[in-house]
C-alpha cells in the first residue's frame, strides 16, 4: 500500500527462534554478540542474517507475520568474527559475507553450500556489493573487484561464484566503510571528508583494461557529512547516506540534510518509494519522508545500537543489533489510517492490543511511543498558534537537548528516581472489606485529592486504553513531531484529550461515557457532593510523551462558572475530576504531582523557579493501572517530565455540583449522542442529562480530532 502523510511509526513482530517456539521478541544479549548485518528478499520473503561464522536464512512460517523460523545455515569458521557485511546477488542468489578477524569474504549458494573464500584484505571487510556480474568488497582504503569464473549451469547459476577472478583493487585515500552504485558509477565513503567515485566500465573488458579504465575515472568529491559516513544507498538515482555526525543526506541537484540528534547513525533502509528508516547508535530508529522530514522515532531494543536495517514486504523492517540475539521485525506504518488498529506500545497509550498494525508507532511489549524523544522539538517551543498568555516555559531546561543521552537529562532522571514519588502515598481500595466511603470522602475534603485502586475492571480498562489510543492516533496524524503543545501551559510533547476533540469532550466514545457511573467511584462522588444531583460535565484528560523534559507549572483546573463568594471558601467543590490510570505510574513516566490542601488556599501557585522541593516531588506514584485519582479542581497540580520510553495518558471525567452554572463550553453544549446515552445505567443517564443530545440530532465536531481543535471552540486562545 502507499504510505500516507500521517505515518505513525513502527510496530514489532514476534520472532520464532530455532527450537524455542514462538517468542515475543529477541533476547537482549550480554556483550556485543548479536548480528551486525542482514538483508531481506521479497520473493520469497526471507531475512538473511550474518551470524555464526556464516549466514542464516529465515523465512516467515505459515502461521503469519508474527512468526519466523530459521530454515538453513551456512558456515565458514575461518571467516572469524564479527561479520560486518552481507549481500545477495539478485541474478544467481549467491550470498557474500564479509568477515572481521578473517579479513575475507565467503560466498555461499542459496541452499547453504559453501562456494569459495576471497582473501587479500588487510582490514575488516566492511561492505560487499554485487553489481553487473561483479562483486566489490571494501577493506581499509581499497576496494577489491571480483568476477565469477566457475562453470556456467543454467539450473545452478550461483555455482559460477565457486571460483572467482581477482580483477584488481580500486584505491582510495581514506578508510572506506560503505559502497553504492548510482547511475553506473561506484561510490564509496567512510572515514574521510571526501567521497570517492569511479565510473564503471563494461565488465566485458579484460580485467587489466577494466581496472585501468575505472581507476582513471576516480573523482574525490566533498562529502555532505561532517564526520565518518557509515552507510550509503541509492534512491531514485540519488545517493542517500548517514553518518557519525547524526545527519542524513540526500544528494542531487538540490542536496538535502537532516540532523537527527547527537547520536551516531549506523544504518539505512528504503521502506518504499517515499520513506526511509535510519538506525542510530543510541538505539533509535527514525522514520523520515523523502524530504528528510522526521516523522517518528522509536527504540525497539532500548539503548542498544541499530546496526542494520532491511525493508521487508508489507511495509516492514528487519532490524539487527549487536546487543540483541537474532533479529526483530518492525512494521513500518505504511497502511492508510482508516485501516489501522492498535499496537501494544505508545500509539495506544502505553499498551494497546493488535500487534503488527502498521500505522501505530511502537513495539509489542510496552516500551516506547509514537513520538518519543524528538530531537527536532526544542525545549519549551510549542508550534501551535497559542496566544502568549497561554504559553509557559520551564526555565530550568532552557537550551537542553531532548535527548535521553544528554548529561543534564541523565542527571534529572537520577533525581526523579531518587526523590519523585510522594512519601507514604495513601491509596484506598473500594473492594477492601474495611473500605469506609465516608472516611475517604473526609480525606478528599481535607487534602483536595484521593486515590482509589482497582477502580476499573479489566475489560473497561482495556476499552479505555483502546479508545484513548484511537484519539492519540488521530492527534498524531496532524502532529507527527509532538510539537503542537497542549494542556495547561501548551508545552510541546503534551496534549489535552479534551482540547483535541471537536466537541471539547469524548462522551461520543462508549469507553469514556460509561465512566460517569461506576460502582467504585459513584458512592464517593455522592459523598463528596452530598447529593445524587451532581452533573457529568465532560471527558478529556492529558497525555505526556516520552521525552517531555519540561515540568508543567502548578495550577488549578478552573472550569467552574460564576460562584457566590471566593472559590477557596466553597464548602462543596466547584468541580471534581477523576483521572483514570491506564499504565502504572512511576517516578519517570510523567505522573501528576499535587499540593495537598491547596484547594483551600486563596493565593496563586508559585512559579516553577519558586516552587519548593516538597511540592515538586509530591508526585502520585507509584500507582497501578486501573486506579482512579479524584481531584478537587481547585487543588494545585502539575505535570512532571516523562523520561521513560512510553507515553503516559490519564483520561478523565469532570463533574459539577448540583445547580452548577454552565461555563466555557461545559454543560452549555451537547457532547454525548443519544444512542451512547441510552446504553448507560439509569444513574449514568441522569447525571449526564445536561450533555446528551436529543434523538437523531447531530453533534457539531463529533469525532473530529486535532491537537488544536479547542481553537475552533475558544478562538480567544489564538
The answer to whether residues 326 and 431 belong to one domain is no
Whether 368 is covered by a domain: the verdict is: no
Q: Is 213 exposed, middle or buried (0-12, 13-18, 19+ CB in 10 A)?
A: middle
Whether 591 is covered by a domain: the verdict is: yes
The H or E element containing residue 442 is helix 437-447
pLDDT digits (tens, 9 = 90+) for 179-220: 999 999 999 999 878 899 999 999 999 999 999 999 999 999
Mean pLDDT of 271-281: 87
Query: What cell does 74 get?
Result: 551456512
Grade residue 81 by pLDDT with cuts at 50, 70 and 90: confident
The answer to whether residues 324 and 454 belong to one domain is no
What is residue 11's three-state secondary structure?
strand
pLDDT at 108: 96
Flag whether pLDDT at 14 surpasses 70: no
Whether 85 is covered by a domain: the verdict is: yes
Grade residue 342 by pLDDT with cuts at 50, 70 and 90: very low
CB 307 within 8 A of CB 267: yes
C-alpha angle 366-42-323 in degrees, rounded to nearest 5: 40
What is residue 296's three-state secondary structure?
strand
Which residues partner with 55 through β-bridges?
Answer: 50, 74
* Residue positions counted in the chain: 718
Residue at a domain's end among 287, 304, 339: 339
Whether 615 is covered by a domain: the verdict is: yes
SS in 3 state form for 524-591?
A: HHHHHHCCCCCEEEECCEEEECCCECCCCCCECCCCCCCCCCCHHHCCCCCCEEEEECCCCECCCECC
Mean pLDDT of 539-564: 92
pLDDT at 355: 25
Mean pLDDT of 489-499: 94
Grade residue 19 by pLDDT with cuts at 50, 70 and 90: very low
Could you please report the per-residue DSSP string of 55-82? EEEEEE-TT-TT-EEEEEEEE-GGG-S-
C-alpha angle 630-631-634 in degrees, rounded to nearest 5: 165
Domain span at 480: 419-694
The answer to whether residues 171 and 45 belong to one domain is yes
Mean pLDDT of 527-534: 95
Could you please report the per-residue DSSP string of 309-374? EEEETTTEEEEE-TTBSS-EEEE---S-GGG----SSSTTTT--S-TT-TTS---TTS---SS-S-
C-alpha angle 7-10-15 in degrees, rounded to nearest 5: 150
Distance CA 39, CA 30 (A): 24
Backbone angles phi and psi of 478, in degrees to 5: -100, -20
Query: What cell does 265 get?
Result: 547513525
Residue at a domain's end among 307, 339, 371: 339
Distance CA 140, CA 517 (A): 70
pLDDT digits (tens, 9 = 90+) for 366-396: 223 357 788 888 999 999 999 888 899 999 9
Distance CA 391, CA 413 (A): 25
Among the residues of 597-647, which ranges form H helices?
A: 613-616
pLDDT at 304: 80
Whether 711 is covered by a domain: the verdict is: no
CB 19 within 8 A of CB 6: no
**325 vs 418: which has the higher pLDDT:** 418
CATH of the domain at 428: 2.60.120.620
The H or E element containing residue 710 is helix 710-713
Among the residues of 81-164, which ranges form H helices?
A: none
Residue at a domain's end among 339, 366, 388: 339
Query: What cell does 236 get?
Result: 531514485
The answer to whether residues 326 and 462 belong to one domain is no
Indicate the average pLDDT of the chain: 85
Whether 329 is covered by a domain: the verdict is: yes
Mean pLDDT of 691-714: 91
Flag whether pLDDT at 351 surpasses 70: no
The answer to whether residues 335 and 423 belong to one domain is no
**Sheet architecture: strand order including 176-182:** 176-182, 185-190, 194-199, 219-222
CATH of the domain at 125: 2.130.10.10
Residue written as grid cell 538505539: 283
The answer to whether residues 426 and 317 belong to one domain is no
pLDDT digits (tens, 9 = 90+) for 443-483: 999 999 999 999 999 889 999 998 998 899 889 888 888 99
The answer to whether residues 565 and 431 belong to one domain is yes
Q: What is the DSSP letter of 122?
A: S
| HSE-CB for 561 with a 13 A CA cutoff | 15
Distance CA 582, CA 461 (A): 7
Whether 78 is covered by a domain: the verdict is: yes
| CB-based contacts of 550, cutoff 8 Å, min separation 6 | 379, 380, 393, 394, 397, 491, 492, 493, 641
Among the residues of 149-290, which ranges form H helices?
A: 207-216
How many domains are there within the chain? 2
Rg, Å, the chain Cα set: 29
Grade residue 21 by pLDDT with cuts at 50, 70 and 90: very low
Whether 704 is covered by a domain: the verdict is: no
Torsion angle (degrees, nearest 10) of CA 474, 549, 297, 540: -10
SS in 3 state form for 490-520?
A: CECCEEECCCCECCCCCCCCHHHHHHHCCCC
Amino acid at each position: 500500500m502507499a504510505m500516507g502523510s500521517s505515518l505513525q511509526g513502527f510496530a514489532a513482530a514476534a520472532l520464532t527462534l530455532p527450537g524455542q517456539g514462538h517468542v515475543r521478541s529477541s533476547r537482549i544479549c550480554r556483550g556485543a554478540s548479536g548480528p551486525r548485518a542482514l538483508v531481506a528478499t521479497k520473493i520469497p520473503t526471507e531475512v538473511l542474517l550474518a551470524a555464526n561464522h556464516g549466514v542464516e536464512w529465515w523465512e516467515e512460517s505459515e502461521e503469519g507475520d508474527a512468526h519466523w523460523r530459521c530454515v538453513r545455515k551456512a558456515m565458514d569458521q575461518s571467516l572469524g568474527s564479527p561479520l560486518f557485511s552481507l549481500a545477495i546477488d539478485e541474478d544467481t542468489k549467491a550470498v557474500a559475507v564479509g568477515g572481521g578477524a578473517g579479513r575475507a569474504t565467503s560466498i555461499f549458494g542459496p541452499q547453504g553450500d559453501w562456494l569459495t573464500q576471497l582473501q587479500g584484505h588487510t582490514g575488516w571487510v566492511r561492505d560487499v556489493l554485487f553489481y553487473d556480474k561483479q562483486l566489490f568488497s571494501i577493506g581499509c582504503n581499497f576496494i577489491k573487484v571480483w568476477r565469477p569464473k566457475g562453470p556456467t549451469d543454467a539450473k545452478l547459476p550461483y555455482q559460477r561464484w565457486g571460483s572467482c577472478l581477482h580483477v584488481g583493487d580500486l584505491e582510495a585515500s581514506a578508510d572506506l566503510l560503505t559502497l553504492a552504485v548510482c547511475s553506473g558509477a561506484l561510490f564509496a565513503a567512510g572515514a574521510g571528508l571526501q567521497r570517492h567515485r569511479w565510473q564503471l566500465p563494461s565488465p566485458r573488458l579484460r580485467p587489466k583494461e577494466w581496472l585501468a579504465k575505472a581507476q582513471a575515472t576516480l573523482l574525490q568529491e566533498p562529502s555532505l557529512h561532517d564526520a565518518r559516513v557509515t552507510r550509503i544507498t541509492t534512491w531514485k538515482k540519488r545517493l542517500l547516506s548517514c553518518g557519525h555526525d547524526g545527519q542524513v543526506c540526500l544528494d542531487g541537484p538540490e542536496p538535502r540534510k537532516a540532523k537527527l540528534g547527537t547520536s551516531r547513525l549506523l544504518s539505512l533502509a528504503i521502506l518504499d518509494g517515499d520513506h526511509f528508516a535510519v538506525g542510530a547508535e543510541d538505539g533509535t530508529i527514525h522514520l523520515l519522508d523523502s524530504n528528510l522530514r522526521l516523522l517518528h522515532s522509536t527504540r525497539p531494543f532500548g539503548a542498544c545500537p541499530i546496526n542494520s536495517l532491511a525493508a521487508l514486504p508489507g511495509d516492514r523492517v528487519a532490524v539487527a543489533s549487536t546487543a540483541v540475539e537474532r533479529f526483530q521485525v518492525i512494521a513500518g506504518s505504511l497502511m492508510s489510517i482508516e485501516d489501522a488498529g492498535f499496537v501494544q506500545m505508545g500509539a495506544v497509550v502505553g499498551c494497546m492490543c493488535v500487534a503488527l498494525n502498521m500505522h501505530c508507532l511502537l513495539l509489542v511489549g510496552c516500551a516506547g511511543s509514537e513520538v518519543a524523544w524528538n530531537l527536532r522539538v526544542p525545549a519549551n517551543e510549542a508550534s501551535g498558534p497559542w496566544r502568549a498568555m497561554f504559553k509557559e516555559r520551564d526555565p530550568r531546561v532552557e537550551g537542553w537537548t531532548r535527548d535521553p543521552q544528554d548529561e543534564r537529562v541523565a542527571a534529572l532522571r537520577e533525581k526523579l528516581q531518587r526523590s519523585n514519588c510522594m512519601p507514604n502515598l495513601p491509596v484506598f481500595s473500594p473492594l477492601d472489606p474495611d473500605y469506609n466511603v465516608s472516611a475517604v470522602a473526609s480525606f478528599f475534603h481535607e487534602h483536595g485529592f484521593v486515590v482509589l485502586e482497582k477502580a476499573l475492571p479489566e475489560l473497561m480498562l482495556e476499552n479505555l486504553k483502546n479508545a484513548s489510543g484511537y484519539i492519540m492516533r488521530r492527534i498524531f496524524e496532524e502532529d507527527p513531531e509532538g510539537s503542537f503543545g497542549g494542556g495547561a501551559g501548551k508545552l510541546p510533547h503534551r496534549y489535552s484529550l479534551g482540547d483535541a476533540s471537536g466537541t471539547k469532550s469524548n462522551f461520543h466514545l462508549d469507553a469514556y461515557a460509561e465512566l460517569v457511573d461506576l460502582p467504585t467511584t459513584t458512592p464517593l462522588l455522592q459523598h463528596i457532593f452530598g447529593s445524587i444531583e451532581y452533573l457529568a460535565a465532560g471527558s478529556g484528560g492529558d497525555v505526556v510523551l516520552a521525552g517531555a523534559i519540561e515540568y508543567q507549572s502548578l495550577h488549578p483546573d478552573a472550569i467552574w462558572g460564576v460562584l457566590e463568594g471566593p472559590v477557596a471558601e466553597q464548602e462543596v467543590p466547584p468541580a471534581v475530576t477523576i483521572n483514570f490510570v491506564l499504565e502504572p505510574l512511576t517516578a519517570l513516566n510523567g505522573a501528576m504531582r499535587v499540593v495537598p490542601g491547596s484547594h483551600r488556599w486563596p493565593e496563586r501557585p508559585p512559579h516553577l523557579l519558586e516552587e519548593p522541593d516538597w511540592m515538586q516531588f509530591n508526585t502520585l506514584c507509584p500507582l497501578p493501572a486501573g486506579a482512579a485519582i479524584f481531584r478537587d479542581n481547585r487543588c494545585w497540580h502539575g505535570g512532571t517530565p516523562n523520561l521513560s520510553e512510553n507515553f503516559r495518558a490519564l483520561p478523565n471525567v469532570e463533574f459539577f455540583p448540583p445547580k452548577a452554572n454552565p461555563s466555557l463550553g461545559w454543560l452549555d453544549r451537547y457532547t454525548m449522542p443519544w444512542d451512547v446515552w441510552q446504553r448507560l445505567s439509569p444513574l449514568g443517564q441522569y447525571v449526564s442529562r445536561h450533555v446528551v443530545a436529543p434523538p437523531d440530532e447531530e453533534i457539531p465536531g463529533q469525532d473530529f480530532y486535532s491537537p488544536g481543535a479547542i481553537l475552533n471552540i475558544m478562538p480567544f486562545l489564538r
